[in-house]
Structure 1
């Protein structure tokens, strides 16, 4: 009898949980034998994004657009209704902890269904991966190696990069390198101002958590841009514009601005124009030359992020209230140097200003360049040539459908990835609508492949 195929999914956050669920769902539809190994020491479905239990840490996307399945768009809303009838609607931005709970339930339902696929939850950390004649073998932190026919790397978001951190600050106990590490914010001193480096989504959550009477929370970034708020009510959908296939980045920029302005005139809101670009963002990104992509990342990415990755209206109002009260201060700035004393950190900015704060928190967002990620699995993949960094510095080098492109440039037939590690190929690859589509397509590819179809 042929051996039941095994697919290892490394990472049990949103991307890994959705991938495992889609594999089981696909196996049920095909009535195909399959073992799914979900490898991660953490809690299923939580990851970094949905591990917070704070009630004010909300999803940045309305519940109606957060279904685990693209073919069942109201799946999450129906789950919320069953859990607490009448409490949440599709337009609500619900607490992130609820979404983590939902993802775990999604996987439980897929695993307990009538299909022949079986889920094996492995509560271990994958620290290495080797190619074998029959697929791959994963080395675990404190258990026997695990063989599989193929592996999906669903590693999620890594802790923030620290290349900007002065050595004296890096050594100080008053520097917090990863605000989402369990219990990290509770370890900060109760007195003294706090400096947050970064002014994006992470900063908003951290600032509102730390803000209190008698403390100033200062946030700086190169541009000092804050995330824009979502609209108070649902917006219409506008078709994306067409682009000249021979256009350079300056022409594309002009076309984008013209499109957003036209949508603002027609629909009364610029957000319609930005959201209408979603179907063509990856195509536009892939059209750009490497030099143009680098230009965009340096000159345009901050403005794009502030308008594309928005915050709930209630969070925006809370932030503005704290800013108006002087408890949160946001502006441009870059750290030039820092000196730690016994009870404070003296920070010198590049414009000559100095700040004395009780702590500095790294809110610059996840490290995107895998060459600088402190993870033995990632480091081993790069060292052995099984994976290569994307030329943009965004994740792994992959094909558009998520196969790893190793150092020799030949697409892997046993190693796949999704989510943030595919940003180099797709640029926008971190939101649930993108990840669920990737998980769905990946399951179809894997269960149709020679390795998983034995």
Structure 2
């Protein structure tokens, strides 16, 4: 593994969705020479991750949300659907999808997302500024060491093994796998599928006899995928879907579009904290009240998505509410209501749910079992015994879902174990989910200060997303969060590395935006609009034109306020990032709000 050491280098750990999205933004935003290194320990997961890689996703596995919400660019909501209809190479696609016209509210197979990410990454590399390059390396990053403002990245288990020196590291390691103590006795058993999104897992599911009795641990999205996979190939045996909550997925309306409603804030009637039970009672009362408001004042909202609308509207208020809750109680609440929280903001498309829900109907092939799985053991030739809620289910195949581990003190990743052991990372104190980061996503150490030039995107920021933004369930780490993380982290990295920015000008943006001089305010707003358009532009020539106009606009500001070009550029860029990551509007509305389809000025 040989790379020149003189060029500034950013190493991204993990080439799934979070890593690719951040790499694309760095390649788009960078104006000075930079090498972006994208490291992935599993070559088959490159540009896909566990969720989207081809071998683990048969064609019937579709996104749980609509195709129109899968664009990797929040400011270009139609990008994925446009790519799937007009750019995707459909050679080898099955008949069902070969001539399919993708729509905003319709389904799309998950496996094609790898092609989308691969092509958008290649596009970004081709359209990068002079001296801005992309390098891809295979291998497992097992440790980071901060030394004199740079980071030594230790890579193992590949031809690219060795130590790479980086000016900044972005950790995008995705979801961490949870240990399943109840399945310890059957971990290597051929009738136990621990990884249903792997090639071997899919093959074992498809190989089971059509009349076999199957037990699926879980009743949410992964469980629906496994059940639907069996049903679509004609399974006639009983399928037991098992979970502690018994909660199942709702179905999105066929014409569903994401919206943000202006709803009343939750009224908890007390500034203090009266205990966990009282908080839950008050929240439930307020939840029912606001759901009633939606049904009365917004009758056009389908019942299936009322909770989605209320959950989204509550996000701005939840940080203040959660700040009153002691950490032990907050952790207990998140653990107790995790399954419920997972379904409040997200449903699934009918392509997946209809076949499963039909099989759950009275006398159907799916039996819904509510209860905690205590133990899975071998039960003689060709059988496993699942002990749950005082009964035993004998199954010919048992499928366990991904089972993510939110507590990073329990993860098995060598990298995270070493970072925690060395104090470079610490578990999120308030929630016990993910690790501590600051508002820019920079990793924090034991003293609460930055550990060095190391940033985080995606799942490791779950706890911070909950307490800082009130984002619950999968929305604290899924595609929606990653879109914002990638913009914010890429901009913060370049603010630090590029000579054209002065990070010390933290308060200048507020000063300029609130200036008593209307000409200064207008010049600042114009500069911010130019930078928003520059950051959103994917063609290099467009960005160069906008950058030249921005330079002229900054000269006007400099003459008016006297601040340095680097300070002004930093103020403008930070304000532009805030606008690009505006959570108060939907992605479709964001494009309109930002005026991206109109020329600036």
| TM-score, structure 1 as length reference | 0.90
1:342 aligns with 2:381: yes
| Distance (Å, rounded) in 2 between the aligned partners of 1:238 and 1:292 | 30
Pairwise CA distance, 1:364:
5.6
| Distance (Å, rounded) in 2 between the aligned partners of 1:48 and 1:286 | 35
Indicate conservation of the 8 Å contact 2:260/2:313, yes or no. no
Deviations 1:25-58 (A, max 9, x none): 110xxx2221111001424321011114422211
Which consecutive aligned stretches of 4+ in structure 1 deviate over 4 angstroms post-superposition? 450-454
Deviations 1:219-243 (A, max 9, x none): 1111111111112213554124324
Partner of 2:201: 184
| Distance (Å, rounded) in 2 between the aligned partners of 1:338 and 1:53 | 26
The structure with higher relative contact order (CA 8 Å, sep 6+) is 1
Matches within 5 A, 1:129-140: 129-140=144-155
| TM-score, structure 2 as length reference | 0.69
Is 405-414 or 433-442 further displaced after alignment? 405-414
Pairwise CA distance, 1:411:
2.5
Total equivalences in the alignment: 448
| Distance (Å, rounded) in 1 between the aligned partners of 2:235 and 2:82 | 40
1:403 aligns with 2:434: no
Pairwise CA distance, 1:286:
6.4
> Which residue, 411, 416, 423 being the options, matches 1:378?
416
Partner of 1:213: 235
Partner of 1:234: 256
Is 62-71 or 87-96 further displaced after alignment? 62-71
Partner of 1:102: 116
Q: What secondary structure is seen at the aligned counterpart in 1 of 2:369?
A: strand
Q: What secondary structure is seen at the aligned counterpart in 2 of 1:274?
A: helix
Partner of 2:141: 126
Q: What secondary structure is seen at the aligned counterpart in 2 of 1:25?
A: helix
Is 386-395 or 248-257 further displaced after alignment? 248-257
Indicate conservation of the 8 Å contact 1:227/1:307, yes or no. no
Pairwise CA distance, 1:81:
2.7
Deviations 1:162-209 (A, max 9, x none): 13x154334644322222233223235624322111111111111112
Partner of 1:37: 37
| Distance (Å, rounded) in 2 between the aligned partners of 1:32 and 1:256 | 50
Q: What secondary structure is seen at the aligned counterpart in 2 of 1:146?
A: strand
1:115 aligns with 2:129: yes
Indicate conservation of the 8 Å contact 1:158/1:373, yes or no. yes
| Distance (Å, rounded) in 1 between the aligned partners of 2:423 and 2:140 | 21
Cα root mean square deviation, aligned: 2.6
Is 356-365 or 234-243 further displaced after alignment? 234-243
Gaps of 5+ in 2: 89-98, 274-278, 467-474, 502-601
Structure of greater Rg: 2
Q: Which one has a larger percent helix, Structure 1 or Structure 2?
A: 2
Gaps of 5+ in 1: none
Distance 1:68-1:394 versus aligned 2 partners, 3 A rule? same
Matches within 5 A, 1:47-196: 47-51=49-53, 52-83=56-87, 87-116=101-130, 117-141=132-156, 142=158, 143-163=161-181, 165-170=182-187, 172-187=189-204, 190-191=208-209, 192-196=212-216
